[in-house]
Amino acid sequence: MIELREITKRFGHVLANDRVSIRVAPGTIHAIVGENGAGKSTAMRIAYGFYRADSGEILIDGVARDIGTPHDAIALGVGMVHQHFMLVETMTVAENIVLGAEPGAAFALDLRQAAAQIRALSDEFKLAVDPSAPVESLSVGQQQRVELLKALYRQARLLILDEPTAVLTPQEVEEFFAILRRMREQGKTVVIITHKLSEVLAISDEVTVMRDGRVVGRVMTSETNAAELARMMVGRDVLLRIDKPPARPGAVVLKVHHLTVTVKDGARPLDDVTFEVRAGEIVGVAGVEGNGQTELIETLAGLIDNPSDVSGEVEFEGQNLTRIGARRRRELGIAHIPENRHRRGLLLDFDLNENSILGVHYRPPAVASPVGVLLDDDAIRARTRQIIKDYDVRPANPDLAARSLSGGNQQKLIIGREFDIHPKLLLVAQPTRGVDIGAIEFIHRKIVALRDDGCAILLVSAELEEVTALADRLLVIHQGRIAGEVDPRQATIEEIGLMMTGGQREPASVNS
């Protein structure tokens, strides 16, 4: 269906693709895997015309083609769904899908005709998308389907999907894979860029592995396993399980008592939540996304816009946090790794030096003394270089803009910055979202090491395997309430999943 031959691409001094050759058979699901920065997204963006290669060629159906823009790729039947959706939230599904390919005359847009075509495509592939729905009213999983429909509406025969499950819940992933299998059955070809090996093994027919800008392997999925793929991706054996000693809990650091958050329409994303976190333990929170996890972490971090909508008590080392803002909470020793690193964690146009001091920019070492007002550039640069070294941030250039780093390296920079304040309490949400397997192993080790140093950790993750493996105690949240507590070493995934969706379980103390 598509073939990349000897593709080379440089960005300045960075060699992103080094003579990359990839062949994708028609009517298959082909996975391209590799660590963040391996060059897999760059290669597929070249195939889509988003970038132009410095050398090499692209063949579609065996014929060399000049693909200089996405319009060229679309005309040849190639569509791409990017990791960060390209949708206008205030417009309807139909308006988003036809944007740039409007039916009818220039001054007589026929949205009714477009909606009928979109509904027919939605029914054909069982996408269950309403063309008249405003995009802002859709869940993340439904928005993903709109992006698929956008490519199908343009008659794509080949769909390139960049990290398509990074923001989906486990249930949405299963539904999404069912859609991809239906597409394959109807003759479509799918290329999926990912780092999640369990998903690669579940959905793909063939796998291309990239490392450091090169293709290092190509295998049939049925003839490989997670350990072999991880070894090819990273260049060494990777520990695929979390190896941690038993926790040694100490004194209560965080006490949450009857915490309730009320929003404008009267809904309660958090409703009467009570639990404790002790020094030297990881308390995990499992639940389907949208059940109050975001509000829980942001409330505890002091980031709720209107504190008057918050009731109940939150104590940190015996001190009531009700009237204490985010800045003071950091000074007390509360660190926060946000679920959305672009919205809450980084200023993308700032360089790594500037991002490394966010939240501590007014005190040493960012300034020369506790009463200083001028930034100490040398101290900031030294601190940034140390974070880059300790947390393996790549490229190791403190003068780069944060947006030039891959998602995994952005995450490592945030983690390094937050760990560097030596927190007593770490609030961490989705610590490895969009992060490759080597970085996941690294981040997990750092979190466990912080726990073993006596930090209290509250961990939220949509990855059920991750939260059950890391947590010493596991709270399950459903519709803003704690549905119960389980021992993650003993509870089954099925049992936890039942609680996540409102099923019943034997009651357990949330402070045992």
Token reading at 414: 């945030």
Asked if residue 439 and residue 319 are part of one domain, the reply reads yes
CA-to-CA separations, 241 to 132, 136, 329, 356, 441, in angstroms, rounded:
45, 38, 33, 30, 8
For 160-184, b where at least 16 C-beta lie within 10 A, e where not — what string? bbbbbbbbbbbebbebbbebbeebb
Contacts of 116 (CB under 8 A, 6+ apart): none
Asked if residue 201 and residue 99 are part of one domain, the reply reads yes
Asked if residue 492 and residue 404 are part of one domain, the reply reads no
Asked if residue 14 and residue 75 are part of one domain, the reply reads yes
For 467-505, b where at least 16 C-beta lie within 10 A, e where not — what string? bbbbbbbbbbbbbbbbbbbbebeebeeebbbebbeeeee
Please list the helix, strand and coil fractions of the chain in percent, rounded to the nearest 5, in that order: 35, 25, 40
- The pTM (predicted TM-score) of the whole model is 0.72
> Which is it for strands 456-460 and 425-429: parallel, antiparallel or unpaired?
parallel
What's the gap between Cα 187 and its chain centre? 30
Asked if residue 11 and residue 152 are part of one domain, the reply reads yes
Closest CA to 414 of 463, 326, 350: 350
Which pLDDT value is given to residue 128?
Answer: 86
Domain-terminating residue out of 373, 397, 420: 420
Which pLDDT value is given to residue 507?
Answer: 43
Asked if residue 246 and residue 296 are part of one domain, the reply reads yes
- Give the three-state DSSP class for 92: strand
Domain-terminating residue out of 420, 439, 468: 420
CB atoms within 10 A of CB 151: 22
Asked if residue 358 and residue 295 are part of one domain, the reply reads no
Which pLDDT value is given to residue 319?
Answer: 96
Which pLDDT value is given to residue 240?
Answer: 67
For residues 185 and 367, give the distance between their C-alpha atoms in angstroms, rounded to a whole number.
Answer: 61
Which pLDDT value is given to residue 106?
Answer: 52
Which pLDDT value is given to residue 140?
Answer: 75
Asked if residue 168 and residue 104 are part of one domain, the reply reads yes
What's the gap between Cα 102 and its chain centre? 32
Token reading at 22: 């990839």
Asked if residue 127 and residue 160 are part of one domain, the reply reads yes
Q: How many domains are contained in the chain? A: 3
Provide the domain limits for residue 466.
239-333+422-512
For the chain, list residues with pLDDT below 50: 506-512
For residues 277 and 293, give the distance between their C-alpha atoms in angstroms, rounded to a whole number.
Answer: 16
Asked if residue 179 and residue 263 are part of one domain, the reply reads no
Beta-bridge partner residues of 189: 158
Instruction: Give the CATH number, domain containing residue 453.
Output: 3.40.50.300
Asked if residue 324 and residue 209 are part of one domain, the reply reads no
Domain-terminating residue out of 188, 212, 234: 234
Asked if residue 446 and residue 327 are part of one domain, the reply reads yes
Which pLDDT value is given to residue 181?
Answer: 95
